Amino acid sequence: MTFHMALQPLLSLVAGILILVVPKFLNYIVAAYLIIYGLTGLIQ
């Protein structure tokens, strides 16, 4: 059995949880999310 999960929805979920837990790091979380989202979009 192969388990496959898309990276971008998982990344969105983690970023959302981190923003709720540690709101003072909002800028860093959004910047990291956008960079990773852009890189995965270029690779695929």
pLDDT in tens, 1-44: 555 567 778 888 888 899 899 889 899 999 998 898 888 888 87
Residue pair 26/19 in contact by the 8 Å Cβ criterion: yes
- Predicted pLDDT of residue 38: 87
The pLDDT score that the predictor gives to residue 27 is 92
- CA–CA separation, 29 and 43 (whole Å): 21
Q: Which ranges of 1-44 would DSSP assign to H, the alpha helix? A: 7-21, 26-43
